[in-house]
Amino acid sequence: MGIILNDGLIAGMNVIGVRFKNNEVYVPEVLIAARAMHAGMAVIKPLIANSGVREKGVVVVGTVKGDLHDIGKNLLGMMLEGAGYRVIDIGVDNAPEKFLKAVQEHNPQIVGMSALLTTTMGQMKATIEQLGPHKDNVKVMVGGAPVTQKFADEIGADAYAPDAATAVELANQLLVS
Ligand code: B1M
Domain CATH for 169? 3.40.50.280
pLDDT recorded at residue 51? 59
C-alpha 53 to ligand 1 mean position (Å): 32
pLDDT recorded at residue 44? 81
Residues contacting ligand 1 via CB (< 6 Å): 17, 27, 30, 66-73, 75-76, 112-114, 116-119, 141-146, 161, 163-164, 167
Closest protein CA for atom 85 of ligand 1: 143
Contact 125, 113 (CB under 8 A): no
Burial 134-152 (b: 16+ CB within 10 A, else e): ebeebbbbbbbeebeeebb
Mean pLDDT of 116-126: 98
Contact 110, 171 (CB under 8 A): yes
pLDDT tens digit sequence for 75-116? 788 778 877 899 999 999 999 999 999 999 999 999 999 999
- pLDDT exceeds cutoff 90 at 50: no
pLDDT recorded at residue 106? 97
- Whole-structure pTM value: 0.86
Give residue 101's domain range.
2-176
Mean pLDDT of 23-46: 86
Mean pLDDT of 108-128: 98
Atom of ligand 1 lying closest to residue 116 CA: 7
Going by C-alpha positions, the residue among 23, 21, 44, 20 that lies closest to residue 32 is 20
pLDDT band for position 48 (cuts 50, 70, 90): low
Tell me the C-alpha distance between 88 and 106, whole Å: 8
Phi-psi domain of 84 (left: phi exceeds 0; alpha: psi -120 through 50; beta: other): left
pLDDT band for position 52 (cuts 50, 70, 90): low
Domain count across the chain: 1
